[in-house]
Amino acid sequence: MRKSRDTALRRARMAALIAAAVAVAGCSGGGEDGPGTGEKLTARAPGVHRWTGSPCGLLADTPLAKGFTLGSTTDSADPEPREDIGEKGARPRYRQMGCLADLTGPDGKFWKLGATAAVYEDAEPARRAYRVKQNLDRVHGRVPEPVHESAYGRPADDRGRPGRTLLLRNGDLLLSVTAYGPYGSEEHEVRDDLGTIVGNTARLMEDGLRERDAPSPAPS
């Protein structure tokens, strides 16, 4: 009985957090919190993107940071559309893909990289999903640090292993990239390289998934 009550309480708490984030997402503006990040990433015109069964291949030919080499990789790509929770009962569809990779730094130590990309059926559901994730981060005390108007970074942690997450939206694409430094490293030692790695990963994946520029909106 107690276990059932605990489970119900956890579900109710998560539902409340999501509801709060959804409510804020509907009225969030372009301004962000935080002092800015080390990711050197500029905003790009909105594009139309495609799904691929081998997202790790988009990272194979270009070093993600000076002195780093890409090690073993694992693709995760489901061609079947999924449904998101939209406004007023809408169920916008998207297709998701991901890449997990090991990186070797200049000193031979191992770093970890993960990227997840969702291609929506339209740009508006991707924009809303971005805002929901952004506000969930705020609710959980993970202050978004602006990179540009459609991307932000924040610190990440894996059992004391310092990391960095970058969330980016472009047109119908929502992209999340997280990298972790070596075990035993300190955040101030790896912050710059983490910012470079997630920024370059996001740039390579967005470029590789991009089919064409999105059409300009019709004049009102």
Would you list the domain boundaries of the chain?
2-30+43-213
Structure tokens at 155: 């610190």
Q: What is the pLDDT of residues 122-171, one digit of tens each?
A: 999 999 999 999 999 999 999 899 999 999 999 999 998 999 999 999 99
Q: Does the global pTM surpass 0.85? A: no
Q: Exposed (0-12), middle (13-18) or buried (19+): which is 191, by Cβ within 10 Å?
A: middle
191-204 pLDDT tens trace? 999 999 999 999 99
Most distant CA atoms of the chain, gap in Å = 60
Torsion of the alpha carbons at 55, 58, 64 and 70, rounded to the nearest 10: 70
Mean pLDDT computed over 14-39: 39
